[in-house]
Chain A
């Protein structure tokens, strides 16, 4: 892993961006961003609507080509790596995933093995184990023979995460994984992600729109506004009323969450 030249912090980052400028059709949404995703940590990107959180995540996942700047994975330009190689290192849960009609859970998760499967090889022991672990980790083993269409929203999100886990990647990127879930399922999902990070040692990067969830579960927060980073760091350090006001234009108080000890944002 190449040493990062930008930061004085000793922690390493396999995934980083320098001078990143990204946009659709000529309008830059993110301009000149420098981002390092700390390894083994749970990073959350927050910010108001339209600030470029999803765009940033998608650039990091190599879904969008930047108009300027670069994204580096393990020191190499991510554009130069073969797509398959990137798929073995970065797993993604996008907002726009579509489950084909009638597909079974195990079949869907099995598709996550594509980066590891050879062209003419059949299903290997490694594949079987990976899918088994993915289903166990997301508590979806008993759903394996059911159709994805028949599942609840929370169960379906867990299946998508199982697909990403079956890829067996050290990094996992998630684009608004808790949107459209009810609160019980949101908490369940965030706990799962936390577990994956703590127990598996995976680097997790998620875009969340719920500020308090971010504060509670993230090790590292990146606050984005209008395509620029306003602040980044551990929640306890950077989440202050001043930041929230600068970010959202919202006056609030920040107290300590009595259960978790993390910052809790309470708007006026």
Chain B
């Protein structure tokens, strides 16, 4: 016997002033983050130096560091961060689950498995193949998750969804393991990618995902108001004209494109998609239009900061962005779990 589904509280009408303020704030932080990302590292560059070298590049080591290492890395951070931030927000809106995250739900693992399988079977290690495989893997994993997340949330459902995602990740990782076991060349390139890092990409590689990202953004960003309606439950949403089936499909495609592209170039980076929507909800309130609009910006900020932190903290080596995200994201996830346990009291 099931209890009647209780709709979530109505999304608050966020004043444009508040949203605009946060937008400006995030843009300022972004500029600072970019400067930090370009400047901080084994070889430090000041803001003035950066500006000079960007405008008038020469043959100095600094210029090389800036143009060959930092710039592609920063660019990648921007794109991947934006993609994962938006994907996470879409996922949480779609599944009505505050703990949804591409890492936790196995989508990254799906992309990873497909990339490794492609590497091993096809043998080509070029960007388009990787991208295609990642998209396929992400689509399959997301499809499985979508099957589960399609119905209205019942008691205990959010945890069930996450557990299913974890179990899926685990089995996908096992399959990945089988492949890397028998192919040490694949393992060698896989293990560095599996950590989730922004290094080792050419500017072309980073820009290669741009078209997919733009499509993903174009599909996902406008869904905000319809997702607000959907947050009240399928039936109510339908009554408000939201058309849940079509909405889910669009969001699903957007998530796959965004996650697949991001994972293909940077490896599986988790927790970003989890933290961004929550942080934004604290700043602008529970209005998906604003959260989706600001998510790419917030995601880019967080990833750049994580990457820069990783470089700063582990000198002369570095801590990969994926690990920093995990280190910082876990306490957030723990806090969320504890808070949700407190709230659900009879």
Contacts and interface: CB of A to CB of B under 8 A. Distances in A.
- In the complex they form, do A and B come into direct contact, defined as C-beta atoms under 8 angstroms apart? yes
Interface of A: 24-25, 54, 58, 95-96, 153, 156, 180
Contact of A25 (B1, B3, B342, B346): B342
A260 to B, nearest CB: 29
Nearest to B345: A24
Contact of B346 (A95, A153, A180): A95
11 contacts: A24-B342, A24-B345, A25-B342, A54-B346, A58-B346, A95-B346, A96-B346, A153-B1, A156-B1, A180-B1, A180-B3
A25 B343 CA distance: 10
Q: Considering residues B3, B342, B345, B346, which has the most beta carbons from chain A within 10 angstroms of its beta carbon?
A: B346
Contacts, number: 11
The main secondary structure of chain B at its interface with chain A is loop
Nearest to A95: B346
A173 B306 CA distance: 54
A180 to B, nearest CB: 7
Contacts of A58: 346
A95 B346 CA distance: 9
Given A153-B1, A156-B1, A180-B3, 8 more contacts: A24-B342, A24-B345, A25-B342, A54-B346, A58-B346, A95-B346, A96-B346, A180-B1
Contacts of A25: 342
Nearest to A151: B1
Contacts of A96: 346
Contacts of B1: 153, 156, 180
A157 to B, nearest CB: 10
A63 to B, nearest CB: 10
Contacts of B346: 54, 58, 95-96
Contacts of B3: 180
A113 B346 CA distance: 26
Task: Return the 4 tightest CB-CB contacts between A and B, nearest first.
Answer: A24-B345, A153-B1, A25-B342, A54-B346
Nearest to A152: B1
B109 to A, nearest CB: 30
A25 B340 CA distance: 13
B149 to A, nearest CB: 23
Contacts of B345: 24
Nearest to B342: A25
B159 to A, nearest CB: 15
Contacts of A24: 342, 345
Nearest to A55: B346
A66 B31 CA distance: 53
Interface in B149-173: none
Contacts of A95: 346
Nearest to B2: A180
B341 to A, nearest CB: 10
Interface string B320-346: 000000000000000000000010011
A96 B345 CA distance: 11
Contacts of A153: 1
B6 to A, nearest CB: 13
Nearest to A175: B346
Nearest to B4: A180
B160 to A, nearest CB: 15
